[in-house]
Amino acid sequence: MKAVILAANRSNRLSPFIETRCKPMIRIAGQYILENTICFLKEAGINDIVLVVNHQQDLVRRYFGSGKILGVNLEYVVQDELNGIGQALSICRSTLEKKPFLLVYGDVMTDYNPFLSILQTYSEIDKEVALIALPESSKEFGNVYLDHEMKISRLVENPKANQANYVFAGMFVLFPEIFSLLEEYQNDISQCYVKMIETSGLQACLWEKGWIDMIHPWHILEANRMLMSSWETAEIDSTARLLGQVHLEGAVRIGPNVTVESGTILKGPCYIGSNSYVGNNSLIRNYSAIGPDSIVGYGSELKNCVLFGNNDVGRLSFVGDSVLGENVKSGSGLTTVNHTVDYSLITCKSNSDSIETGLTKLGAFIGDNVSIGARHTLGPGTIVESGKIFPDNITL
């Protein structure tokens, strides 16, 4: 069986990180979303994978190449115009129309391997299967309803109520007949699903573990926390250097050629990527992921944050509940304020839109290649566009 992963789309709601990468190339807990998906597929016995690409596709091709490094065979199909899921799938017809295949949305994440479950369901019934999940709120997703045999009986594409209901989890086993439906419904994938529900039936496979669809920037933090929560053991590369008194607690993961100076406390789960440096007396708290080639200066504190890589956090800084894109440099004394004075809900402003996050604790979201001088304070929910430069905050 082959799998097709949709990795072409660009979502402006993930600004400021989507301008310089496609969603599947966001690094979560030290690993790209797409890399995590491919590894799960390989574990489930799926080695032939089609990647549908467009936005920032060169980054995908450079990193994964033919797929040999991960032990899989990758084929690339370019979606020249981003006209939706159905159109993306239709251009793969020549390579998928002979046998059942897995359709995977490239921007969803799970903490354990979902393909083992969906393939098990398929092997039992030999029919089309959809993985479904139950998020806290299903308003932003198509809602599905089930009958007593766990078949999907109804699909509501744009629900009005903000409630918890089953949703498509972005993974399907489909038969080649889907391509005839795509022709009939002009590549409207939702209409195809409805037709399948009404005729041949679409079996549900319930996923009861962690699941998240990457829509807004703070979902990066949620996905990072979800993935790290599944870690049970510490992993420290043999080339890492922990100098003097370094205190470790819980599932701490440290990559190759990392140096951690004396007096530092690492509270897992946390992650430090390859070739990184953590200065003396720093505090790396749980759910912090430091990407490769990064520097954390003396006496700094990181808490529940994601650094994509090649970052430089100046000494005596606090970075909490925040996401820093690649090549973000900050001077000493950076503070990301992660709550309002009265702990009210935080609003983010992105692309001239104000979005209620529903969170009382949230720091800053800083795009790639940003340079922030010394002694800056960023308010809750701050979004900094890629490439911005802020001089030192000199008061005298």
What CATH number has the domain bearing residue 151? 3.90.550.10
Is the domain of 265 the same as that of 188? no
Q: Is 222 a domain residue?
A: no
What pLDDT, in 10s, does the model give residues 103-142?
A: 999 999 999 999 999 999 999 999 999 999 988 776 677 7
Instruction: Please give the pLDDT value at position 162.
Output: 64
Instruction: Please give the pLDDT value at position 351.
Output: 67
What CATH number has the domain bearing residue 307? 2.160.10.10
Instruction: Please give the pLDDT value at position 395.
Output: 84
Is the domain of 339 the same as that of 253? yes
Q: Is 395 a domain residue?
A: no
Is the domain of 53 the same as that of 159? yes
Instruction: Please give the pLDDT value at position 292.
Output: 98
Q: For residues 115 and 125, give the distance between their C-alpha atoms in angstroms, rounded to a whole number.
A: 16
Is the domain of 180 the same as that of 329? no
Instruction: Please give the pLDDT value at position 148.
Output: 87
Q: Please, are residues 140 and 157 in contact by the beta-carbon 8 Å criterion?
A: no
Domain count, the chain: 2
Instruction: Please give the pLDDT value at position 139.
Output: 67
Q: Is 396 a domain residue?
A: no
Is the domain of 75 the same as that of 206? yes
- Spans in the chain with pLDDT lower than 50: none
Of the three residues 215, 249, 281, the one that is the final residue of a domain is 215
Is the domain of 206 the same as that of 275? no
Q: Is 104 a domain residue?
A: yes
Of the three residues 165, 181, 215, the one that is the final residue of a domain is 215
Identify the domain containing residue 352 by its residue range: 229-390
Is the domain of 341 the same as that of 206? no
Is the domain of 86 the same as that of 160? yes
Beta strands at 108-110 and 211-213: parallel, antiparallel or unpaired: antiparallel
Instruction: Please give the pLDDT value at position 163.
Output: 67
Q: Is 182 a domain residue?
A: yes
